[in-house]
Structure 1
């Protein structure tokens, strides 16, 4: 029987240089998509999938993320005294329970693989989810929920993938699968940013993973790869020689909030999905587009 997926790792140590000066004093993960920080949207996805423990790999000047997932007694008391019951309930609903969050430091910018390795002692000897907070997955059924269903049926390691234009495949981590039309398919090969015209498919890694704990031993010995960083894809390629990997295709919309265009598009999409905002927001958008 497959061990359940109880823990999720969120690497949030990046500097966010593409959003300077906004991220000079505020973590990029705390930039808001409508009225929720990007990291809150990703944690929401994990909670909806049944994750019980949230592991944040942080860095310098990221303390506000820890504060965000904690009680703020003065604010809560003020809301209570002013009769703002709905706002207070919303704040408390978003909070993980006591003991459900852990924070560990990645002291240097050594890559995603190193960030994952930093969570090894908290995750322990069990499979875990990994969610990149830059990538917002927008759909009625959360991406991680689909992946956990695939894991329950297949075991092994699961990677979320989505289709990208073939002429842009060189910009992504790409997987080759046994059946490109299937929702879940065995992975035959993985390559990080293949040279133009050499990609084995147009299925890109979407920033969602379910990994077995043996990845930590591989990462501990992993040599630095592209950019002088410890690459997670390199470690997964090694793990794939002894364990199966499966791709789960995500058919919703993905917004790369690490880019300005992706971040702006996410704000529009998430606002239009809100019943309380969409009608007036459409009017405002149409007025802007007519200018």
Structure 2
């Protein structure tokens, strides 16, 4: 086997308009909507860093300056907090501040799809394998999803995708993979299909927004024709790459919330709030009261 190159960089696409969350996203990037007290995009960054990523490339678009500001220093705020004696908040903010030079930003000027957004990062990634994390897909579990992919990658190399199981009748909502023979703590990917109808789906294992890809994907995406939704689809590009390179999948031992949807966003807030030592019990009691009240109203109706 060829030497397995280290994965040092990650791409996080944040160029979407967030129209499903209007009017909240009229002036604020959807990636800055908060799950409890952290913006959605912070969870992807934390996951990448925990997996050993050294440099993060954000693919942005217009009106995303708030994301850049979030990952920058804020001397005035720090000074104000110090004067107020709020040292806990200061320590937390400083712990989230990236190392100087470890974050880059590039633009996707036109909304041509995920595949195109990934292609826009080509010069900043260079000739290296890279991680890809879709920030709308927020992973919740004992271990970060990307850490698991890194572990498998360091054993088998090539290209790695994370998957979860969906309702077999909902395969048309996702990119779906075919599951082959077991390899290490993953499996060989035999097929990839973008949003297939249930009758055409090779399985009910869907791509949950975490990938490790080889740099040859960029040349493929540069020539990739538009697919589903009249966009340049990453899954189509990966399918072409799989003709010459191995792809392996790993089932994520956790749950991924689609925070690009209102339901998934609310579910993520509940899950992360319940897991918090400071507010979990209070949130649980509050939700239980709401459920009991709702059930009473339904019975009375």
> Considering the TM-score relative to the shorter chain, is it more than 0.5?
yes
Counterpart secondary structure, 1:3: coil
Displacement of 1:206 in angstroms is 0.5
Q: Is the 8 A contact 2:152 2:185 kept in 1?
A: no
Deviations 1:66-91 (A, max 9, x none): 00000011101111111111100100
Displacement of 1:182 in angstroms is 8.1
Mapped to 1, the partners of 2:183 and 2:139 lie a distance apart of 20
Counterpart secondary structure, 2:283: helix
Counterpart secondary structure, 2:200: coil
Gap runs ≥5 in structure 1: none
- Give matches, 1:248-287, under 5 Å: 248-287=250-289
Displacement of 1:181 in angstroms is 11
Correspondence for 2:66 among 61, 64, 67: 64
> What residue is the counterpart of 1:95 in the other structure?
97
Counterpart secondary structure, 1:102: strand
Displacement of 1:170 in angstroms is 2.1
Mapped to 2, the partners of 1:164 and 1:56 lie a distance apart of 28
Residues 172 and 241 of structure 1: is their aligned pair in 2 closer, same or farther, counting only changes over 3 Å? same
- Give matches, 1:66-145, under 5 Å: 66-145=68-147
Displacement of 1:180 in angstroms is 7.5
> What residue is the counterpart of 2:199 in the other structure?
197
Correspondence for 2:164 among 159, 162, 171: 162
Q: Is the 8 A contact 1:10 1:130 kept in 2?
A: yes
Mapped to 2, the partners of 1:72 and 1:126 lie a distance apart of 33
Counterpart secondary structure, 1:255: strand
Q: How many residues align?
A: 291
The TM-score, its normalising length taken from structure 1, stands at 0.98
Residues 166 and 96 of structure 1: is their aligned pair in 2 closer, same or farther, counting only changes over 3 Å? same
Mapped to 1, the partners of 2:204 and 2:162 lie a distance apart of 13
Mapped to 2, the partners of 1:103 and 1:19 lie a distance apart of 24
Displacement of 1:95 in angstroms is 1.1
> What residue is the counterpart of 1:31 in the other structure?
33
Mapped to 2, the partners of 1:121 and 1:246 lie a distance apart of 26
Mapped to 1, the partners of 2:43 and 2:266 lie a distance apart of 15
Correspondence for 1:55 among 39, 54, 57: 57
> What residue is the counterpart of 2:299 in the other structure?
none
Dislocated runs of 4+, deviation >3 Å: 179-183
C-alpha RMSD of matched pairs (Å): 1.2
Gap runs ≥5 in structure 2: 294-301
The TM-score, its normalising length taken from structure 2, stands at 0.95
Displacement of 1:251 in angstroms is 2.0
Q: Is the 8 A contact 2:112 2:232 kept in 1?
A: yes
Mapped to 2, the partners of 1:10 and 1:210 lie a distance apart of 12
Q: Is the 8 A contact 2:11 2:57 kept in 1?
A: yes
Q: Is the 8 A contact 1:183 1:249 kept in 2?
A: no
Correspondence for 1:231 among 227, 230, 233: 233
Mapped to 1, the partners of 2:290 and 2:280 lie a distance apart of 15
Mapped to 1, the partners of 2:224 and 2:100 lie a distance apart of 35
Displacement of 1:196 in angstroms is 2.9
